[in-house]
Amino acid sequence: MEALIKVENLKKYFEIKKSMLSKPLQVKAINGISLEIPKGVIFAVVGESGSGKSTLGRVILKLIDPTSGKVFFDGQDITSLKSKDMIKYRKQMQIVQQDPYNSLHPRKLIKDIVGEGLKIHYKLSAEEIYLRIKEILECVGLREEHMFRYPHEFSGGQRQRIAIARALVLRPKFLVLDEPTSALDVSVQARTLALLCELKENFDLTYLFITHNLAVVDYMASHVAVMYLGKIMEIGSKDDIFFRPKHPYTVSLLEAIPSVGKGKRVRMIPRGEIPSPVNLPKGCLFHTRCVQAKDICAKKDPQEVEISPGHMCRCHLYS
């Protein structure tokens, strides 16, 4: 399948200072990621909080610049494009964020929130803008009268629909969905996920779906990358990851949700907490928690190994 997004050896390091006098510390949020997102798929990135998933989404969208590496959108290298040259791509790549309470301006009417991007990116009359906003609100299950209300007049699920409408009104090809349902009640989550699936088909979209919830991945995704401390530990089709998982970290995540996946597995719940990205473990990043760690694991970083076409794993057990 043709790739809409291609990422080559992407790195994003941040510098933080604990105090005015202290030396800056380096946070390796993304540490050498390469992947391809085929057109028309739902590509999930899963991992614990602190694994670098959200930073990856933002670097792909060029909301933040990478430290090194390249991002291609539909064959075009967008890594070093200047702001004016990025305008053409901005409307094709949108994001829906986790928190529908903070992502909508509280003092703006819904018509102004949803229509803002239209005014920036298209030369349309006021009537055309009005009709586009009305049409997109209807696509997400809202009504024309909702255009003249403020965000606080809506429930969490409705606010997330407004955020989705704001992203879709620009007719993008690619959406980054950053934990789009984790702030919602369970019943509302299910309806929002169903809506996102329906919109993907109707608008011919490709999704990068960022989540820590493998049950959601099971429902939504066709491709999955498992991220840990800024690196991809395993990547493959949903069936590879759910039914033929190889990496001990992937297996440990699946262990936490016994209702998904059918493979017979040994119990491999990881020990302790995810280490700080300021002070990364030497060797395999997962060795401090891995129940299958061997001597080599603390010394040598494993290389990516192809298990089967499209199914890659970074672990000494398969080198």
Nearer to ligand SF4, 63 or 291 (CB): 291
Q: How far apart are CA 81 and CA 162, in angstroms?
A: 30
292 is a site residue for ligand SF4 (CB under 6 A): yes
- Report how many residues bind ligand SF4 under the rule CB under 6 A: 14
Q: How far apart are CA 269 and CA 256, in angstroms?
A: 8
223 is a site residue for ligand SF4 (CB under 6 A): no
Say how many C-beta atoms besides its own lie within 10 A of residue 150's C-beta. Answer: 14
Is-contact 176 96, C-beta < 8 A? Answer: yes
287 is a site residue for ligand SF4 (CB under 6 A): yes
Q: How far apart are CA 85 and CA 27, in angstroms?
A: 29
CB of 223 to ligand SF4, least distance (A): 21
Residue type, 80: S
**What are the tokens at 302?**
């494993």
315 is a site residue for ligand SF4 (CB under 6 A): yes
Residue type, 267: R
Nearer to ligand SF4, 92 or 292 (CB): 292
Q: Return phi, psi of residue 53, to 5°.
A: -60, -50
Nearer to ligand SF4, 7 or 315 (CB): 315
Nearer to ligand SF4, 155 or 303 (CB): 303
254 is a site residue for ligand SF4 (CB under 6 A): no
Q: Near ligand SF4 by CB under 6 A, which window of 138-146, 266-274, 279-287, 303-311?
A: 279-287
Nearer to ligand SF4, 165 or 226 (CB): 226
Q: Return phi, psi of residue 87, to 5°.
A: -55, -45
154 is a site residue for ligand SF4 (CB under 6 A): no
Q: Given candidates 31, 95, 302, 311, which one binds ligand SF4 under the rule CB under 6 A?
A: 302
Is-contact 117 91, C-beta < 8 A? Answer: yes
Q: Given candidates 100, 172, 230, 248, which one binds ligand SF4 under the rule CB under 6 A?
A: 248
Nearer to ligand SF4, 119 or 299 (CB): 299
Torsion of CA 234, 240, 244, 250, to 10 degrees: 30
Q: Given candidates 114, 170, 297, 312, which one binds ligand SF4 under the rule CB under 6 A?
A: 297
CB neighbour class for 274 (10 Å; exposed up to 12, middle 13-18, buried from 19): middle
At 123, is the secondary structure helix, strand, or coil? coil
**What are the tokens at 68?**
């090194």
Q: Near ligand SF4 by CB under 6 A, which window of 65-73, 89-97, 202-210, 286-294?
A: 286-294
CB of 228 to ligand SF4, least distance (A): 9
CB of 302 to ligand SF4, least distance (A): 5
DSSP one-letter string for 213-230: -HHHHHHH-SEEEEEETT
Q: Given candidates 199, 235, 286, 311, which one binds ligand SF4 under the rule CB under 6 A?
A: 286
Contact footprint for ligand SF4 (CB under 6 A): 247-248, 284, 286-287, 290, 292-294, 297, 302, 315-317
